[in-house]
Amino acid sequence: MPHDQPPSLPAPDATSAAHSERVAAYICERISAAGGRVSFAEFMQHALYAPGLGYYAAGSTKFGEAGDFITAPEVSSVFGGVVARQCAEVLAQTDGGEILEYGAGSGKLAADVLTALRGLDALPSAYNILEVSADLRERQEASLRERVPDLTGLITWLDAPPAASRGVILANEVLDALPVERFVRRDTGVMQQCVTEGPGGFEFVETAASARLASAVEAIEDEVGVQFPDGFISEVSLAVGDWIAGLSAALDEGVVLLFDYGVSRREYYAAERSDGWLRCHFRHHAHNNPLVLPGIQDLTTWVDFTAVAEAAVAAGFEIGGYSAQAQFLMAGGLEAEMQGFAELALEEQLELSRQVKTLTLPGEMGEHFKCMALQKGAIATPPGFSLADRTHVL
């Protein structure tokens, strides 16, 4: 079936286009099996994670200049260096502590954190990775064998979270990759955007919201103090509660560091955001149509950090801190990471300055990206949250 794409997007090459057709055929089968439509969360789940087919499950290049988007660890090793400094503080308080990374992408953050921890003489007893994509897991193994060959003995890929561990859990840009439901507020009730197959490709169809989604939307309206106007569209992550509960089951004592683009609930559901926070990325072009290029474009949603904090408290965590990425990096040891800058060659200085600007400037990743610490046990909050904690805005 043809899938019309927005005219501003580059055309996929023949191999990618053929792959996308296979993903579309798979989703069409799922739609038929479900009686003619699937929820948007189910569509997103298939488009991103269908085994061997979905965006994260198949072999395309996703991260970096040659891919579709760039994440903080891919921008600069300075990010991993600062993260490592927070890990060192926590590991020193949890005798024999481990690190568990969710969704390790290309493996860059793992390599940078381990390299920096070795430099600080603060290696963890183990570095575990939990990655849902078999393809990415293979790439992570290859990249870590190349980048930290003498530390691979510490690294294990897990199929399920450990029963209980001590130390640090890291997740950079994982929350934004969890499938979300999309709702439409009507004066007559809460509706749900489902996906069906139309003559020109996938189409949205509005149905009465499931009881769970309707009550989630009504609870948000109660909290922000208004009923959304007729036609207001946004997203709700029904998956975040279970995901955070899984983190809690995996960690007995220590700190979870979550990094992602996101805002508080009041900003998330503000009247001017009447078309939600879902974004699609294809070859560094951002757009708003999740129904095209299935399996070869990234689908992602900004994070409602109030929902994350609520789920965390319900799961037994304390909120250690919530900061913008720029403040987190500055308080967490950016200056120490820049030691030796003066000795670099001019070209290297320019490149490092460019990287740090991308990580910290408000118009780049400095303000929209947030870091949240969730804690358990008698552990001091890592220094990255000491400069401008914004927990009060959640």
Ligand X SMILES: C[S@@+](CC[C@H](N)C(=O)[O-])C[C@H]1O[C@@H](n2cnc3c(N)ncnc32)[C@H](O)[C@@H]1O
Q: Which residues bind ligand X (CB under 6 A)?
A: 56, 63, 71, 73-74, 102-105, 109, 130-133, 136, 172-174, 177-178
Q: Which is nearer to ligand X, 244 or 373 (CB)?
A: 244
The strand pair at 278-282 and 298-301 is best described as: antiparallel
For the bound state, the minimum distance from the C-beta of residue 71 to ligand X, rounded and expressed in Å, comes to: 3
Q: Which is nearer to ligand X, 27 or 104 (CB)?
A: 104
Closest residue to ligand X using C-beta atoms? 103
Q: Which is nearer to ligand X, 48 or 191 (CB)?
A: 48
For the bound state, the minimum distance from the C-beta of residue 200 to ligand X, rounded and expressed in Å, comes to: 29
Burial of 357 (0-12, 13-18, 19+ CB in 10 A): middle
For the bound state, the minimum distance from the C-beta of residue 174 to ligand X, rounded and expressed in Å, comes to: 4
For the bound state, the minimum distance from the C-beta of residue 158 to ligand X, rounded and expressed in Å, comes to: 10
For the bound state, the minimum distance from the C-beta of residue 337 to ligand X, rounded and expressed in Å, comes to: 18
* Helical packing angle, 325-332 and 346-360, nearest 10°: 130
Q: Phi, psi (5° rounding) for residue 76?
A: -160, 145
Instruction: Please name the residues in contact with 284: beta carbons below 8 A apart, sequence gap of 6 or more.
Output: 68, 69, 70
Q: Which is nearer to ligand X, 102 or 204 (CB)?
A: 102
Structure tokens at 341: 């800058």
For the bound state, the minimum distance from the C-beta of residue 73 to ligand X, rounded and expressed in Å, comes to: 5
253: helix, coil or strand?
Answer: strand
For the bound state, the minimum distance from the C-beta of residue 105 to ligand X, rounded and expressed in Å, comes to: 3
Q: Which is nearer to ligand X, 12 or 179 (CB)?
A: 179
The strand pair at 251-263 and 165-172 is best described as: parallel
The strand pair at 369-376 and 285-287 is best described as: unpaired
Cα pseudo-dihedral 367, 343, 340, 73, rounded to 10: 40
Q: Which residues pair with 369 in a beta bridge?
A: 261
SS (H, E, C) 8-69: CCCCCCHHHHHHHHHHHHHHHHHHHHCCCCEEHHHHHHHHHHCCCCCCCCCCCCCECCCCCE
